C-alpha cells in the first residue's frame, strides 16, 4: 500500500508543479490545482511513511521521479529545453536513488 501512496504523491506533486508553471504564464486559476496538488502530495507521502516505507527511500524516489517527470512534461507541454546532458543528469539521480533503495536492504 505504501507504494500506491508514493505513486499518488509523485503524480500529484508533478501535476502541482506543472500547474504552477501554467499559473505564472496564464490564468491565476491554476493556483487552485497548485495548492490542492501539493497538499495531496504531502498527504500521500505521509501515508507512504506511515505504511513503513523508509524515509530515505520514499523521499529519494519521490524527488527523482518528480524531477524526471517534470522535465519530460515541461518539454512536451511548455516546449522547454531537454538536452542529453539533462537526460544524463536525471539518469544519474535515478541511479543514486536506486543505490539508496538497495542500500536500505543491507
Query: Which band of pLDDT confidence, cut at 50, 70 and 90, is reported for residue 99?
Result: confident
Q: What is the pLDDT of residue 60?
A: 87
Average pLDDT of the chain to the nearest whole number: 93
- Neighbouring residues of 69: CB distance < 8 A, sequence distance ≥ 6: 10, 14
pTM: 0.89
Placement of cell 502541482 in the chain: 16
- pLDDT, one tens digit per residue, over 50-85 is 999 989 889 989 999 999 999 999 999 999 999 999
Is the pLDDT reported for residue 106 higher than 80? no
Amino acid at each position: 500500500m505504501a507504494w500506491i501512496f508514493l505513486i499518488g504523491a509523485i503524480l500529484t506533486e508533478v501535476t502541482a508543479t506543472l500547474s504552477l508553471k501554467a499559473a505564472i504564464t496564464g490564468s491565476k486559476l491554476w493556483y487552485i490545482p497548485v495548492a490542492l496538488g501539493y497538499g495531496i502530495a504531502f498527504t500521500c507521502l505521509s501515508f507512504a511513511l506511515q505504511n513503513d516505507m523508509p524515509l530515505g527511500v520514499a523521499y529519494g524516489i519521490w524527488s527523482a521521479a518528480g524531477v524526471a517527470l517534470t522535465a519530460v512534461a515541461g518539454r512536451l507541454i511548455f516546449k522547454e529545453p531537454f538536452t542529453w546532458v539533462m537526460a544524463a543528469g536525471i539518469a544519474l539521480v535515478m541511479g543514486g536513488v536506486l543505490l539508496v533503495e538497495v542500500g536500505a536492504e543491507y
